[in-house]
Chains A and B, each alone.
Chain A
């Protein structure tokens, strides 16, 4: 079996080395700050599958005095054939010294066989004083790639690429804070081209990472489906005392159901964050209107979910669909009348329900065993509520699935319309049909209905 590759991420201080490691390794615990010298020691982060290392990323302190270090190495180098030996001699000489501490720390793993990922900031001007560190890296004779990171707003990447091309086999743009899954894979593929030795092991790693990304999509769709099913079927029950009126407990039951639903939503969001390996995020950190706002806040209902017109059109489409089935069953003998009537009924029913209070359904049941009366409330509603829950979940999914692990703090979501309003009419009809069917099966949901909902939601998630 081939040894898994090690990538040593090096560069000047504060150029985003740790950010690149965090993004490539999907590790949010790596200390990142705009204070230079945050990384004092080299630290390896191994990406593993089944306990087997796919590749290792080594975060290093930045170059602090490359020109002086190069000068010392030059003293030991008789000719180009012994460049690597000169670097090794330098590391051996200074490894226990306080002088050139950072340089020895970052060069040691390279001399140990690590491939080089050299990071520069393409948003600041190129300066020739970088050439000393590039030269040292060239002397190591290790396969190396330069990454032009973007920390600020300027763009000097063309100058950088010209200079980097002199020293590195490959130069790639890589914005650590914006890189998504595809960018990470492209980077690994680039290295695969650069270093023949790594091809087999990187191919395997790329395959595993792609499969993992697909698994996450499926899992995300399961989490969201589970939330929607709960929202469509969840009911609250309160035991009534003797002579107590059910009407007096309705608000309490409604509050109980709302709070249960909020808990379920929070849990589902937490699962989404954990799935994409953001354990430190909390859904309460999301700042946008309709997201930080409570699920049941007026603002949420204004910004997210379907518009009133879309809800009515969807109701009509579902009704017409059912009618069409009747028309088809009569081999057209009903002349499309059933579809017309079904559409009208669907529209009317959506219109009536749109004016209803959330979860207006309640009834009193008598328990068989102890004879107690119980007021049973809910589900909360199958029209707008599942669309809002879906919208919130899709927005969170979009944000965490595309968020780089180098980005710290809150998710940055703008105050904009949600996702579900942009769905096609076909998707909206399908969703409404599924919601309606699920709502009918409060306690004995057919598994294939859950599975159909999951497949539909998976189709809504970005690839």
Chain B
């Protein structure tokens, strides 16, 4: 089983959009033909994802934007990763530099490197709540669209962006993944540069407050912040002494508690904040970004794997490719409409009076003579009017009519119905005898017996 790439899905959705106005019949025939061409190379894959990928390889559209969409995504990831590394690195360098006058303010460093990230993360989580309009938007999307425009496919991808989002918000999650690439790179850079700084130079930390926050309060906050990692070892917990020792007075340009000589136990605590900073960035910056990146990646991968299996439209394409097209082909041109000539507009002649001798045409049922005698008072003989007794249920045929052609005698067709039902078909058949008989016999009459 193989997964579609986002670009594959762009191409497939573009196809569906292009074919929107075509009839199902045309599309079915097209995809079956493509299926047959694929089958020439080997058995059609059972997995829809494989089949759709094979379809895209077999029948690429000249203006397909998929490959360039994948490229744009890769470029976007690279750009964001580089931007994250550069920004994270430079920011850390800036924050963790001793100007020779004052120590590094730990509250500023944590606030900038962790606090801002936490705020952004909270905003992201809020944005993920269903709002009824989860369409992706924002600077990263605009960057992606700008890249796609540079690659010459911006319009084509923009046309299908709603369709992409219809797959479990795919576009939105692609963008979330991209932003998390930036976030992870940023944090990696922060941690790496901080380590380098801590390893290669002596950075001492301090904190200060204008509004008179007490060291106990700062300690409580630091203790709370350190909860996720402080359980690992005793030394991981920020100590109150460390907070007290690192309180700084900018006005005087010195720590509130002036350290004594190098042997003063206060000295090591001036540098001890470094592990707190690293852990804070790790726990509140790097790990959440990594988790969201992993979730977004899993979501994107799952969507791309699930879509060919469960999407109604793509499932239909696969079924068309696999199933033969069954249809009926009439041979030759459509027949001309059947036109029935009207009967001559002449009144039927009168019936022969009782006692007339009539000739009964052969093929009549045995009871015919009796019926004619009883109903009309005719006798059966030779010569005189010709009487044909036929089934009231049978249409006049050319064979029957031919027997009356050009006869000089009165021809009487008696329609006999032994069932005596009131089926309306009998009346229609009688009407047809009345229409067809005068066309062949010079004098004729149709009677229902």
Contacts and interface: CB of A to CB of B under 8 A. Distances in A.
Interface of A: 12-14, 25-27, 29-31, 33-41, 43-50, 54, 62-68, 102, 124-125, 127, 129, 151-154, 208-209, 211-212, 215, 218-219, 222, 225-226, 271, 274-275, 277, 365, 368, 440-448, 450-451, 454
Contacts of A68: 399, 402
B199 interface: no
A29 B337 CA distance: 12
A67 B400 CA distance: 10
Contact of B393 (A25, A63, A125): A125
Contacts of B36: 50
Given A63-B397, A211-B323, A154 B419 contact: yes
B393 A36 contact: no
B165 A50 contact: no
Contacts of B303: 447
A91 to B, nearest CB: 17
A365 B326 contact: no
A25 to B, nearest CB: 4
A450 B25 CA distance: 23
Contact of B166 (A39, A54, A102, A445): A445
Interface stretch (B126-134, B212-220, B230-238): B126-134
B162 A443 contact: yes
B398 A102 contact: yes
25 contacts: A30-B330, A31-B335, A34-B428, A35-B340, A45-B329, A45-B331, A47-B326, A48-B327, A49-B326, A50-B325, A66-B399, A68-B399, A125-B393, A129-B394, A219-B316, A219-B319, A274-B25, A275-B24, A441-B130, A443-B165, A446-B306, A447-B306, A447-B307, A451-B309, A454-B312
A277 B340 CA distance: 30
Nearest to B418: A125
B165 A444 contact: yes
A193 to B, nearest CB: 23
Given A152-B425, A444-B168, A447-B306, A271 B24 contact: yes
B155 to A, nearest CB: 16
A212 B323 contact: yes
Contact of A443 (B32, B133, B310, B425): B133
Interface of B: 23-25, 32, 36, 130, 132-135, 137, 162, 165-170, 172, 303, 306-307, 309-312, 315-316, 319, 323-332, 334-335, 337-338, 340, 363, 391, 393-400, 402, 418-419, 421, 423, 425, 428, 432
B338 A35 contact: yes
Contacts of B162: 443
A65 B399 contact: yes
B330 A43 contact: yes
A36 B166 contact: no
Contacts of A39: 335, 338
A225 B312 contact: yes
Contact of B312 (A31, A153, A226): A226
Given A443-B132, A444-B134, 17 more contacts: A26-B328, A27-B328, A36-B432, A44-B330, A44-B332, A65-B399, A68-B399, A124-B391, A152-B425, A215-B323, A218-B319, A442-B132, A444-B170, A447-B303, A448-B310, A450-B311, A451-B312
B169 A444 contact: yes
B316 A48 contact: no
Contacts of A444: 134, 165-170, 172
B398 A43 contact: no
A124 B418 CA distance: 11
Contacts of B168: 444-447
Nearest to B169: A444
A48 B306 CA distance: 34
A230 to B, nearest CB: 11
B326 A31 contact: no
Most chain A C-beta atoms within 10 Å of own C-beta, residue among B316, B329, B363:
B329
Contact of A125 (B169, B307, B419): B419
A13 B395 contact: yes
A450 B310 contact: yes
A450 B331 CA distance: 41
B311 A212 contact: no
A330 B331 CA distance: 70
Contacts of A27: 328, 330
Contact of A451 (B310, B337, B400, B419): B310
A30 B330 CA distance: 9
Contacts of A45: 328-331
Contacts of B310: 446-448, 450-451
Contacts of A54: 326
A316 B171 CA distance: 36
A153 B221 CA distance: 94
A274 to B, nearest CB: 6
B200 to A, nearest CB: 47
Given A154-B423, A451-B312, A64 B399 contact: yes
Nearest to A271: B24
Contacts of A219: 316, 319
Nearest 4 interchain pairs by C-beta: A65-B399, A451-B310, A444-B169, A64-B398
B324 A29 contact: no
B319 A274 contact: no
Nearest to B396: A36
Most chain B C-beta atoms within 10 Å of own C-beta, residue among A124, A125, A212, A444:
A444
Contact of A46 (B167, B328, B334, B337): B328
Given A209-B326, A215-B319, A365 B335 contact: no
Contacts of A34: 425, 428
Contacts of A33: 338
Given A43-B335, A50-B32, A124-B393, A208 B165 contact: no
A451 B315 contact: yes
Contact of A49 (B137, B324, B391): B324
B329 A31 contact: no
A43 B172 contact: no
A43 B332 contact: yes
Contacts of A151: 425
A48 B328 contact: yes
A350 B335 CA distance: 58
A38 B311 CA distance: 48
B54 to A, nearest CB: 19
A79 B418 CA distance: 38
Contacts of B32: 50
A65 B394 contact: no
Contact of A222 (B307, B315, B323, B428): B315
A47 B428 CA distance: 34
B328 A154 contact: no
B129 to A, nearest CB: 12
Most chain B C-beta atoms within 10 Å of own C-beta, residue among A25, A215, A225:
A215
A46 B329 contact: yes
Contacts of A365: 133
B98 to A, nearest CB: 45
A447 B399 contact: no
A346 to B, nearest CB: 20
Contacts of A26: 328
A54 B329 CA distance: 11
Contacts of B400: 65
Contact of B135 (A124, A275, A443): A443
B312 to A, nearest CB: 5
A153 B423 contact: yes
Contacts of A43: 330-332, 335
Most chain B C-beta atoms within 10 Å of own C-beta, residue among A25, A27, A34, A125:
A125
Nearest to B172: A444
A451 B319 CA distance: 14
B395 A14 contact: yes
Contact of B316 (A152, A222, A274): A222
A65 B324 contact: no
A235 B328 CA distance: 41
